[in-house]
A and B are shown apart, each in its own frame.
Chain A
């Protein structure tokens, strides 16, 4: 059992902006089940699948785990400045591998995700934390539309980017950044505190046989669904890189519960909007050659074992 935020402190209220997606789905499960988190709402963007599929998945997952009361708002159906290129890890529906999940009876909020975020921020006394696990379309559009509310965002913890650590299983670009690099640039320029949970750390939380063994021990309906998700989800990684599924989005979510799972360092981050081979690349100016102020914290190291302990415990409880 890992140390969760102690029970005397108020759970951290968050909005989760996502594109479910198997790993988003697991992040949703964690956000709902953690006593350290108060999930105020879920906003959905296109990314791993088309918007309507991601929305449907979010509704199904929340209803399945008994979180039918958590509001869901549909957001951007396309990136801000480019045609949508879908992710490939999650299959056509965005949540292949669990066809037996019932369709949701729950419906979406009657407003766009950016308006839902604005409404939620206005209702809060304290600045709010946002976890984003998909392309930043919604957050980019939010910055464009609601500059007066930026000070009500405490920070954004975003799964995205990669910083060229030497590795054969890390490509020069990461999907969420690649999918809507203009939105990322808008967020980077906004002055909102941003923590980037990139492939440098998420490709180190891999589900291999020892982890599967632990998941199999969780002999509940939820445990079995998560296991089925993981078995589908790992195919892309297994076939292309020979490794298990990387729990990108769950790691980003976990940092709300336990920020000590990673080490971070600040840097000025630029995003390549025009490159041929490195389009959507996130570039960290560690040497301060450009003389620009730091605009993000990027994760450099992760304690994978402690992350998995946290995940198991949340699924078990």
Chain B
């Protein structure tokens, strides 16, 4: 980049391959502000690790970026929740089928067999090796449960001193939770992992539901208007065709079932913050903890704000996003995706 614009950031993107993860991979792979060192996969919203990994491989193939290494990661959370609760997203899909019928086949479909393979290295080792080979240069961006990151910090004690920064999608402070009234899915799905990660003392930007899955952030959400804009500005690259084909159902689901004006772009926002932190207003660096033992409150994010009588807390290294320049973000998203040009 030239001038005072955003810098080129080297990132590792850790995903669980839900809809916005797919857009995040496509966004990171083509953004001139990102050097995507690799994509690591984690069991989460899209189901088992094989599905998650296959989706990433297929997405990168579509983007023409099979050169970007994909490393398969955690097959289960550290502790997790009851089996019935962990399968809630599947039950959710059944409810959706009743409403959307055949159209739902485009929502998180079983991934076809990819044309290329993940690298022969566990995601945890990929993260450790990549970071340790370039101390202070790599930003870890996680848009799913934080199991891989936690395992990496647990396995390599020196990792925390060598990561440049983390951008994490998770938690909620003002907006109600999306998996329980108090908790956000990524944190809840592996609450112990999130707590390990947020206690490392690494400079962190935390992207809660407040700035993506809340109509206060409406301008950042993907709508049919945005799909129409992409139609006008972009050539007929397979990536654009896929987005036009796949994402109307996502927009409809989030509009009808979550009362949001469009499809929330959580994961893409999280990637964009890695190179342009000015997209969001943030708190001062503070300590953010996770509730582990509460039943109703399990997975709740707790920001240490204000002043309290009891001692406590931890490393004050997490800045929590409180507002977003949604218009500027969506413009950035569309301009970036438009860089996919038909060969």
Most buried by A among B78, B154, B155, B293: B154
A147 partner residues in chain B, CB cutoff 8 A: 75-76
Q: Mark B141-178, 1 if CB is under 8 A from A, else 0.
A: 00000010001001111000000000000000000000
Report which of B151, B157, B195, B196 forms a contact with A144, defined as CB distance below 8 A: B151
Contact of A81 among B75, B155, B156, B196 (CB under 8 A): B196
Given A112-B155, A182-B78, A182-B79, also A145-B192 (CB < 8 A): no
Is the pair A141, B79 in contact by a Cβ cutoff of 8 Å? Answer: no
Mask of B111-138 contacts with A, CB within 8 angstroms, 1/0: 0000000000010110000000000000
| Residue interface mask B97-123, A partner, CB < 8 A = 1 | 000000000000000000000000010
Residue of B nearest to A146 (CB): B122
A137 and chain B: residue at smallest CB distance: B154
Number of interface residues of B (CB under 8 A): 19
Instruction: Kindly state whether residue B74 has any CB partner on chain A within 8 Å.
Output: yes
Nearest residue, chain B, Cβ from A189: B76
Q: Take A78-B154, A80-B192, A81-B196 as given contacts and tell me if A145 and B78 are in contact as well, using a CB distance cutoff of 8 Å.
A: no
Q: When chains A and B are docked, how far (Å) is the Cα of A147 from the Cα of B50?
A: 13
**Chain A: how many interface residues by the 8 Å CB criterion?**
17
Residue of B nearest to A140 (CB): B78
Q: Which residues of A contact B76 (CB under 8 A)?
A: 144, 147
CA distance A81 to B154 in the complex (A): 9
B195 surroundings in chain A (CB, below 8 A): 81
Inter-chain contact B151/A145, CB cutoff 8 Å = yes
- Closest chain B CB from A63 CB (angstroms): 25
Q: In the docked arrangement, what's the CA distance between A81 and B146, Å?
A: 13
User: Is there a chain B Cβ closer than 8 Å to A1's Cβ?
Assistant: no
* Of the residues A80, A186, A273, contact of B154 by C-beta under 8 Å: A80
The number of inter-chain residue pairs (CB within 8 angstroms) is: 42
Report if A254 contacts B (CB, 8 A).
no
Contact status B122-A145, CB under 8 Å: yes
Mark interface residues in A173-196 (1 if CB within 8 Å of B CB, else 0). 000000000100110000000000
Contact with A along B289-328 (1 / 0, CB 8 A): 0001100000000000000000000000000000000000
Least CB distance from B218 to A in Å reads 37
Interchain CB contact under 8 A, B154 and A274: no
Question: Which residues of B have CB within 8 Å of A76?
Answer: 154-155
Residue from A78, A81, A112 within 8 A of B78 (CB atoms): A81
Q: A residues within 8 A CB of B147?
A: 144
Asked if residues B74 and A144 are in contact (CB atoms below 8 Å), the reply is yes
A273 near B74 with CB under 8 A, answer no
Let me know if A141 and B192 touch, CB within 8 A: no
Q: Mark A79-97, 1 if CB is under 8 A from B, else 0.
A: 0110000000000000000
Contact with B along A139-169 (1 / 0, CB 8 A): 0010011010000000000000000000000
Cα A114 to Cα B156 with chains together (Å): 12
CB <8 Å contact, B79 and A81: yes
Complex Cα distance, B79 from A186, in Å, reads 7
Docked complex Cα distance between A289 and B195 (Å): 33
Q: Judging by beta carbons under 8 Å apart, are A274 and B124 in contact?
A: no
Are the CB atoms of A186 and B293 closer together than 8 Å?
Answer: no
19 further interface pairs, Cβ-Cβ under 8 Å (given A145-B124, A182-B192, A274-B293): A76-B155, A78-B154, A80-B78, A80-B154, A81-B78, A81-B79, A81-B195, A114-B155, A115-B125, A141-B151, A141-B155, A144-B78, A144-B147, A144-B151, A145-B151, A147-B75, A147-B76, A182-B79, A185-B79
Q: What are the nearest 3 A-B pairs in CB distance?
A: A81-B192, A274-B293, A77-B157
